[in-house]
Amino acid sequence: MLCLTGWTEEQALVAKRKDGALVVVTGCGHPIIETILEMACRLDPAGVHTVVGGLHFPITTSRISRFGIQFQQIIGTGKGWWDEISDADLTATIAALNQAGVRRLLLSAHDTCDHAVERFRREVHAKVDILRAGSSYTL
């Protein structure tokens, strides 16, 4: 949901590596990754090898703050603007990533707070890297 504009669909790319393993590429991750992983796992019950992109978890702070308003906590969360993203939501996402068998997470931190990034690093059973502009990554 993007604030008062209503529900907004966002696309994700699902591809196969040469070894047949699935790779999911998200944009900003406004729809919850659980939905994207569920759809990808329909293509291959073996699970998803790699997730690349944003997951939108500005739980403690927002990287876009104006006039004391934490905009990323309000817009693009997949929830209504009145319903904040919580640690419980993050816990559910981490569980979904682990359940899908994700072995590599290349996370865009542009709309994810440092608290959430650290939880991803500690709790996801995968190699977690934070994407950096200008860097190259081999899938």
Examine the pLDDT at 9 and tell me if it is beyond 70.
Answer: no
SS3 for 94? helix
**Which domain does 29 fall in, by range?**
3-130
Residue 105 lies in a domain: yes
Under the banding of pLDDT at 50, 70 and 90, the label for residue 77 is low
Residue 137 lies in a domain: no
Under the banding of pLDDT at 50, 70 and 90, the label for residue 33 is confident
| pLDDT value at residue 128 | 96
Non-local (6+) Cβ contacts of 14 within 8 A are 22, 23, 24, 25, 39, 40, 43
Under the banding of pLDDT at 50, 70 and 90, the label for residue 56 is confident
- Supply the CATH number for residue 62's domain: 3.60.15.10
Domain count, the chain: 1
Residue 72 lies in a domain: yes
Residue 88 lies in a domain: yes
Residue 111 lies in a domain: yes
Residue 138 lies in a domain: no
Residue 68 lies in a domain: yes
Residue 135 lies in a domain: no
Cα distance between the two ends of the chain: 30
